[in-house]
Amino acid sequence: MRNFLLRYLIPRLGQYFMVIFLGVTLTFIIPRLSPNDPVERQINQMTMSGAHVNPEAVMHLREALTEMYGLRGSPFQQYLAYWGRLLRGDLGPSLSTFPTPVMDLIAGALPWTIGLLLTAVLISWFVGNLFGALASYYPDNPLMRLIDVASQAVRPIPYYVMALVMLILFAYIVPIFPFSGAYPVGTRVQLTPQFILTVLKHSALPALSLVVIGMGSWFIGMKSLTSNIISEDYVVYAENAGLSERKILFSYIIRNALLPQITGLALQLGLIFNGALIMEVVFGYPGMGMLTLQAVMANDYSLIMGIAIFSIIGVATSVLILDLIYPLFDPRVRHQ
C-alpha cells in the first residue's frame, strides 16, 4: 500500500495537476494573443449607439472595464490574479452578458447537458456493446443481422442530417415529441413530477438521436473485438469443458472484449462537459454546446475560458479515475 502511494498514486496525481495547470495556462494565453481587445470592443459598442460621450467619461469607463475584466497590470500579474480567482471558484464575469458571473452561466447549462448526455452515453454504451457481442456470437440470428445492417447503414450518416431527419419525422410529420427546448418556454424550473415528465418528453428525441449514433459505433467496435476473442484458446477450452453458453458469453467473451471499450467510455464521459453542439443547436437544447456557441459568437473570452477549464478538468479527471480503477477490470495491469 505504501509502495502504491509513493510509486504510483502520488506521481499520477502530480501528472493530473500538471495537465490541468498546463491546460489552464494555455486557455489564459490563447485569447490574449487575439487582436481583439474586449475593453475597446465594449466601448465601441457603447459609443456606436450614437450618443455623445465625453472623452473623460470614456477614460473612466475604460479604467472601470479593465478593472472588472481583470485586465489590469502586466500579463503575469493578470495570470497570478486569474489563478487566485480560479482557486476561489470564481471564473469572473461574462463579457457578453455582463455582469452575470461565468460560473452562473455554466451552472445553468451544465445540469441539462450532464443529464442528457450521461444518460445517452451510458445507454448507447450498454446496448451497443451487448448487441455487438451478441451479433458476433450468434452471427445467424436474424435480429442480430438486422441490427448489424442498421448500424452499418447509420454510421456513415452525418449526425446533423440524422438529427434533422429525426426531428422532422417525430416532431413534425408524426408529432410525438416537442420541437425544441428542454422544457416549454415560460415554465418555471422546479422539481415537481409534472415538470420532470415534461423534461423527459423534451429530452427523449435528442437522447434517442445520440443513442442511435453512439450505439452504432460501439456496436461495430464490440463486434470486431468479440470476433477476435471468440477464437481465443480460453474460449475454446471453456466450450470443450462444457460450460454453459451464457457463462462463456458473459464471463469469458464479453468480459475480455469489453476492456478497450471501458477506456473508450471513460474518454467519452470526460468529454460530456463540452456538451454536444450539433445536437443542442438542432434541438434547441440549452446545454454547454449552446453556451459555447454563444460565447464564441460574442467573443466572450471569460466564458470560453470557463467552459474550456471545465472540459480540461472533466477529461483529466475521468482519465485519472480510469487509470486508478482499471486494474479492477484487467488484473494484468498492476500499479507498480
Q: Which is nearer to other proteins, 186 or 331 (CB)?
A: 331
**Looking at beta carbons only, is 4 or 237 nearer to other proteins?**
237
Q: Provide the minimum distance between the beta carbon of 260 and other proteins in the complex, in angstroms, as a whole number.
A: 13
C-beta closer to other proteins: residue 104 or 245 = 245
Residue 44 or 244 having the CB closest to other proteins = 244
Q: Give least dist CB 6 to other proteins, A.
A: 23
Least distance in Å: CB of 139 to other proteins? 12
Least CB distance to other proteins at residue 246 (A) = 11
The cell numbers describing 310, all together, are: 471545465
Kindly list the residues in this chain that would bind other proteins in the complex (CB under 8 A).
232-234, 236-244, 247, 251-252, 255-256, 259, 329-332
Q: What does the chain come to in residues?
A: 336
Burial profile 238-256: b = 16 or more Cβ within 10 angstroms, e = fewer: beeeeeeeeebbeebbbeb
Pick between residue 238 and residue 322 the one whose CB is nearest to other proteins.
238
113 or 129, CB closer to other proteins? Answer: 129
Rounded least distance, CB 240 to other proteins, Å: 5
Rounded CA-CA distance 124/117 in Å is: 10
- Min CB(241)–other proteins separation in Å: 5
